[in-house]
Amino acid sequence: MIASKLIQNVLDELKERGNAQIRLLGSTITAKSCLNSSKLWLSAVIYDGKNYIPDSVRQYQQALLPVPHSKIPTFVTIDEKKFQLVLNYVGIMPKSNTPEFKDLIEQFSWDAEEWRYFLDDFDKRDLIRVPHN
């Protein structure tokens, strides 16, 4: 649960600078305002390959998605330069500190966590098992 003061701080930063960050459920969510502050773009890294994205992680699109019941439309992008997969949301910017904005941030954070667990399972498929003697 997010405190309303924290939500107001995020909205204030969006108005002043056009972007803000919030840490929730293990995700650092970047919020950006777009198109004269009429649109909101949220993003969070859901997989960090350090210097490589394994084929098993790249094949995530062939599996059933981890959050089919999500209340918000999201999409995943791959940042090849940073070896990361990023969860994104683009929607209408809320007018003020509304419960709708708080619910949106919480849902996005929850979705990012589900994606992170999902991709970690794919990542484990590329591990090499070494027998112990």
Domain ranges of the chain: 4-124
Residue 13 has pLDDT above 80, yes or no: yes
CATH of domain 4-124: 3.30.1460.10
Which tokens go with 92? 């209408």
Sign of CA dihedral 112, 116, 122, 123: positive
Residue 46 has pLDDT above 90, yes or no: yes
Please, are residues 19 and 60 in contact by the beta-carbon 8 Å criterion? Answer: no
What's this model's pTM, rounded to 2 decimal places? 0.84
Which tokens go with 58? 């790249």
Average pLDDT over the chain reads 83
Find the largest Cα–Cα distance for the chain.
63
CA distances from 7 to 14, 51, 94 (A): 11, 34, 11
Band (4; pLDDT cuts 50, 70, 90): confident
Band (34; pLDDT cuts 50, 70, 90): confident
Contacts of 38 (CB under 8 A, 6+ apart): 92, 93
Residue 1 has pLDDT above 60, yes or no: no
Contacts of 49 (CB under 8 A, 6+ apart): 57, 83, 84
